[in-house]
């Protein structure tokens, strides 16, 4: 039976518990293991962080009544309703507790004297705070690496900064500051939409320090951000709570995933991305050293022309020098653009975006490079000889600038039409939403809205721009199709792996039109590997940045798992048909199921080493490293680049199926990062003592992966390294299965106890 979630949503809103119960019962029959997942994903229930939650509370009450009717029906049909009761009551409790926390947050914001300061001034203060935090962090980082002979690519990610909520890394601290700004500024845009549409006075004192209200607002914004993160984990990742006690013996709701291993692997992937970005720069050291050699003196030279008391002086810089600086940033950004692999070079000039589809990606990249040049020159001047004790000087860190100045200057220098320049500025401005679904993300929009005529220039926001993330966001906003890169991805893997003599690759894959189930079957990759068959399904996906986006990509990954499992079945059922169309020699008889290696290979790191339904998931970097270039080398990078060690991923002079399968369980690309991660309990600030304390699992890099790598290189010979890795992988896999089973049993008992107590 097809379930109509629109009818369920309407019946809940109308207070029709009987109709709702009939639909919920059908959901239970089809999804008894997790009845709440489809209901949450279909947005049938009010969200705890919605501003109109109170108005929609009727739907929640109707849902509770409907679930009571469903429990009765389950009993009448001779079933045990305990699992259903646990599921729906846990979700309702989560919604209500997060709502209470959010209401306390909003009440604290609105019921105090926080808004004695005008909203535009508060926004400006937050911009100044963000810029100054970046300035101080840079000073601290430079002091920490002073005297170091080598570049440490992990140092900014190691959690060594104390906080009231466990240790955090410098990178996490800076990111949390931007998240705080994103949350609080969005609220201020909503709160001050009428004020911000008028002509705005300029405040001379925008120092955010020694003003308790600003500090309080920052804490409330961080609290709101953590609530949002926790709700996404519950809604999209199926995190559940159990009642635990903290060090003060207080009872709190502690949220964690069903499989802690998956979350740890995702954390390792995020750090691996950061490491890769820095490593790409080191690998291109000749190019980048040359660029930096030209860039730094040019920035310093241009900065001397800036008068901090006259922000307009930023647009009177010598044109030839500014253009040269922009070109240097373009060359740096080209590396980031090329990291979006499998996209043709002419794609950027052919595809257009914007309201009138008249903005090319080339112009988009040019405007970003222009902002980077302006931001770097301005911060060079504003940070120079900055006096922390001069309150009046803080306004120079993040100046207010007329939009028309930016548009006209860009148009005049680069010959871009005024309409295009104006829309580019609008696209890169973090501003109030005109509609609920409008795109808004301060991580990708570094200019901050300050009324209809002005923006605030925050160099710290410009410096942290993630070009690949921005590009993929534009794909989504303007419905730009980049699906063709999937075919390039498939061709690349087929060709790369065909060079390994241990694999007999059917290059280009193969297809049969009439498989055993009446459907066609197309194999992305099939090869013989010793006595076994290697099947690979390939998925070229956009990188996720949030629990919601990971959930969305997981759908496609799971579909890949289904595909490769079906193809393994096709091998068993239609072996003769496969042999007829194959371009490689295949055995007469179909392979034993245990002799089929099933892999889903992605272009992103977020699912590497996860396993589902006997299929292992990996990434193209790990896969090709194993088969194409198995030598792992260690370098010390300082004034020079020096190789200090190496080992092979192969025990012999060639790869073997067993060794490959063990490698996939924990590739060398994540092993040291993974082993340096430790679980950390994070708790939410308790604003109202009557609210239920909340906490959740997180992972922190508590030690430097480089230290593990050094030990590995120094203490292990090649053969010993591989044997130890094999034993560790097997042990880890067995321990994980035991731990997962214990987690499920423990949580089920805990839930039943909580239900009984409730």
Beta strands in 482-630 (DSSP E): 503-505, 510-512, 521-523, 525-529, 532-539, 596-602, 611-612, 615-619
Mean pLDDT, to the nearest integer, of 119-141?
90
Q: Which residue has the tokens 């509609």?
A: 435
User: How far is 95 from 93, CA to CA, in rounded Å?
Assistant: 5
Per-residue pLDDT of 490-517, as tens digits, reads: 999 999 999 999 999 999 889 999 999 9
The residue among 119 and 277 whose pLDDT is bigger is 119
H-state helical runs in 676-717: 705-715
Task: Please compute the mean of the pLDDT values over residues 136-141 and round it to a whole number.
Answer: 82
Question: Which range in 291-300, 486-495, 641-650 is most confidently predicted, on average pLDDT?
Answer: 486-495
108-125 mean pLDDT:
83
pLDDT tens, residue by residue, 366-420: 999 999 999 999 999 999 999 999 999 999 999 999 999 999 999 999 999 999 9
Can you give the pLDDT at residue 281?
62
Angle at 563 between CA 557 and CA 569, to 5 degrees: 145
Q: CB neighbours of 21 closer than 8 A, spacing ≥ 6?
A: 66, 67, 69, 70, 73
Q: What is the mean pLDDT of the chain?
A: 88
The mean pLDDT value for 172-195 works out to 86
Q: What are phi and psi of 175, to 5 degrees?
A: -65, -40
For the beta carbon of residue 302, count every other beta carbon within 10 angstroms. Answer: 23
Q: Strands of 246-384 (E only): list them.
A: 251-256, 352-353, 359-360
Q: Specify which residues 699 forms β-bridges with.
A: 679
3-state secondary structure (DSSP) of residue 20: helix
Least-confidence region, from 272-276, 304-308, 429-433: 272-276
Between 16-30, 264-278, 739-753, the lowest mean confidence (pLDDT) is in 739-753
- What percent of the chain has pLDDT above 70? 87
Task: Give yes or no for a contact between 59 and 13, defined as CB atoms under 8 angstroms apart.
Answer: yes
Q: Which residue has the tokens 């009717």?
A: 69
With left for phi above 0 and alpha for psi between -120 and 50, is residue 518 left, alpha or beta? Answer: left
Q: What average pLDDT score do residues 581-609 get?
A: 95
Residues in CB range of 298: below 8 A, 6 or more apart? 321, 324, 325, 328
Residue 642's pLDDT is: 73
Most distant pair of Cα atoms in the chain: their distance:
84
Give the per-residue pLDDT at 643: 75
What confidence score (pLDDT) does residue 513 get?
94
Q: What are phi and psi of 511, to 5 degrees?
A: -145, 140
The mean pLDDT value for 561-568 works out to: 97
In angstroms, rounded to a whole number, what is the distance separating the alpha carbons of residues 456 and 398?
A: 6
Outline where DSSP puts E strands in 427-545.
Answer: 429-430, 447-450, 454-457, 503-505, 510-512, 521-523, 525-529, 532-539
- Label residue 710 exposed, middle or buried (CB < 10 Å: 0-12, 13-18, 19+): middle
Give pLDDT, residue 155. Answer: 64
- Collapsed DSSP state (helix, strand, coil) of residue 455: strand
Residue 757: its pLDDT value, please?
Answer: 44
E strands, 384-506, in order:
400-402, 429-430, 447-450, 454-457, 503-505
| 381 CB-near residues (< 8 Å, 6+ apart) | 303, 304, 306, 308
Among 616, 712, 704, which Cα is nearest to 666's? Answer: 616
Coil/strand/helix, residue 683: strand
pLDDT digits (tens, 9 = 90+) for 38-63: 999 999 999 999 988 988 889 999 99
pLDDT per position as a tens digit, 666-697: 998 899 999 999 999 999 999 999 999 999 99
The residue ranking higher by pLDDT, 161 or 582, is 582
Count of residues for the chain? 758
Average the pLDDT over 650-655 and give the result.
92
Which band of pLDDT confidence, cut at 50, 70 and 90, is reported for residue 145? low
- Read off the DSSP letter of residue 308: T
3-class secondary-structure state, position 98: helix
pTM of the model: 0.86
pLDDT of residue 193: 85
pLDDT value of residue 2: 85
Helical segments of 582-717, H only: 620-628, 657-665, 668-675, 705-715
The DSSP bridge partners found for residue 695 are 254, 683
* The pLDDT of residue 718 is above 80: no
- The HSE-up count of residue 702 (CA atoms within 13 Å, CB side) is 9
Pairing of strands 503-505, 525-529: antiparallel
**665 contacts: CB under 8 Å, gap ≥ 6:** 609, 611, 616, 729, 732, 733
* CA–CA distance, 628 with 623 (Å, rounded to integer): 8
**Bridge partners, 253 (sequence order):** 243, 694
User: pLDDT band at residue 218, thresholds of 50, 70 and 90?
Assistant: confident
Mean local confidence (pLDDT), 82-104: 96
**DSSP β-bridge partners for residue 624:** none
Task: Give residue for tokens 């000749």.
Answer: 286
% of the chain exceeding 90 in pLDDT:
64
Phi and psi torsions of 503, nearest 5°: -110, 135
Helical residues (DSSP H) of 81-118, grouped into ranges: 82-110
* Residues whose CB falls within 8 Å of the CB of residue 717, separated by 6 or more in sequence, listed in order: none
Judged by DSSP in three states, 96 sits in helix
For residue 732, name the pLDDT band (cuts at 50, 70, 90).
Answer: low
Q: Is the pLDDT of residue 31 over 70?
A: yes
Residues 152-173 have pLDDT tens digits of 556 666 666 666 666 766 677 7
Secondary structure of 258-269 as H, E, C letters: CCHHHHHHHHHH
pLDDT at 200: 85
């Amino acid at each position: 039976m097809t379930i109509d979630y629109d009818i369920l949503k309407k019946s809940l809103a109308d207070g029709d518990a009987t109709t709702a119960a009939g639909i919920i019962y059908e959901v239970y029959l089809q999804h008894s293991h997790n009845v709440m997942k489809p209901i949450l994903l279909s947005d049938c229930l009010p969200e705890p962080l919605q501003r109109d939650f109170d108005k929609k509370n009727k739907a929640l009450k109707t849902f509770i009544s409907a679930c009571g009717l469903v429990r009765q029906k389950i009993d009448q049909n001779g079933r045990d309703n305990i699992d259903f009761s646990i599921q729906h009551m846990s979700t309702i409790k989560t919604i209500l507790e997060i709502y209470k926390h959010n209401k306390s947050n909003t009440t604290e914001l609105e019921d105090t004297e926080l808004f004695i300061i005008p909203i535009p001034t508060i926004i400006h203060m937050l911009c100044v705070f963000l810029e100054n935090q970046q300035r101080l962090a840079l000073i601290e980082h430079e002091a920490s690496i002073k005297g170091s002979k080598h570049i440490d690519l992990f140092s900014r990610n190691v959690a060594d900064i104390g906080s009231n909520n466990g240790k955090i890394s410098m990178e996490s601290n800076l990111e949390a500051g931007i998240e705080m700004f994103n949350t609080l500024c969005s609220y201020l845009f909503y709160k001050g939409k009428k004020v911000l549409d008028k002509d705005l006075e300029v405040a001379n004192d925008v120092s955010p320090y020694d003003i308790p209200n600003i500090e309080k607002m920052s804490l409330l914004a961080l609290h709101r951000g953590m609530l949002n993160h926790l709700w996404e984990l519950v809604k999209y990742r199926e995190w559940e709570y159990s009642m635990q006690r903290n060090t003060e013996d207080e009872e709190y709701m502690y949220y964690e995933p069903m499989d802690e291993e998956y979350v740890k692997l995702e954390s390792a992937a995020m750090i691996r991305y950061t490491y890769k970005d820095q490593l790409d720069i080191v690998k291109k050291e000749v190019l980048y050293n040359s660029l930096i050699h030209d860039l730094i003196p040019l920035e310093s030279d241009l900065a001397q022309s800036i008068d901090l008391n006259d922000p307009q002086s930023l647009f009177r810089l010598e044109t030839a020098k500014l253009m040269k600086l922009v070109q240097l940033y373009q060359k740096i950004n080209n590396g980031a653009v090329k990291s979006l692999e499998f996209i043709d070079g002419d794609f950027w000039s052919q595809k257009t975006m914007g309201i009138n589809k008249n903005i090319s990606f080339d112009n988009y990249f040019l405007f970003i490079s222009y902002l980077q040049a302006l931001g770097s020159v301005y911060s060079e001047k504003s940070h120079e000889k900055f006096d922390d004790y001069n309150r009046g000087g803080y306004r120079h860190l993040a100046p207010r600038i007329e939009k028309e100045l930016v548009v006209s200057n860009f148009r005049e220098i680069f010959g871009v039409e005024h309409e295009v320049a104006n829309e580019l500025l609008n696209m890169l401005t973090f501003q109030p939403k005109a509609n609920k679904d409008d795109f808004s993300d301060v991580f990708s929009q570094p200019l901050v809205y300050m009324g209809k005529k002005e923006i605030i220039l925050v160099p710290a926001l410009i410096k942290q721009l993630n070009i690949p993330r921005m590009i993929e966001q534009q794909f989504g906003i303007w419905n730009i199709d980049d699906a063709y890169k999937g075919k390039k991805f498939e061709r690349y893997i087929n060709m790369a792996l065909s060079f390994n003599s241990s694999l007999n690759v059917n290059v280009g894959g193969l297809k049969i039109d009439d498989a055993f189930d009446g459907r066609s079957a197309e194999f992305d990759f099939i090869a013989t590997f010793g006595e076994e068959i290697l099947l690979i399904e390939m998925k070229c996906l956009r990188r996720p940045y949030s629990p919601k986006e990971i959930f969305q990509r997981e759908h496609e990954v799971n579909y890949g798992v289904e595909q490769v499992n079906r193809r393994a079945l096709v091998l068993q059922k239609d072996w003769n048909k496969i042999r007829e169309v194959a371009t490689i020699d295949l055995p007469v008889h179909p392979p034993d199921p245990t002799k089929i290696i099933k892999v889903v290979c992605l272009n992103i790191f977020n699912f590497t080493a996860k396993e589902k339904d006997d299929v292992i998931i990996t990434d193209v970097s790990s896969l090709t490293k194993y088969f194409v270039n198995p030598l792992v080398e260690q370098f010390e990078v300082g004034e020079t680049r020096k190789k200090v060690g190496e080992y092979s991923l192969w025990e012999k002079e060639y790869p073997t199926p067993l060794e490959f399968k063990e490698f996939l369980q924990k590739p060398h690309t994540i092993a040291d990062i993974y082993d340096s991660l430790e679980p950390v309990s994070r708790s939410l600030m308790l604003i109202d003592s009557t609210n239920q304390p909340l906490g959740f699992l997180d992972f922190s890099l508590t030690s430097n992966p480089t230290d593990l790598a050094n030990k590995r290189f120094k203490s292990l010979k090649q053969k010993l390294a591989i044997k130890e890795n094999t034993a560790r992988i097997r042990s880890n896999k067995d321990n994980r299965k035991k731990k997962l089973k214990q987690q499920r049993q423990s949580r089920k008992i805990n839930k039943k106890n909580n239900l009984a107590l409730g």
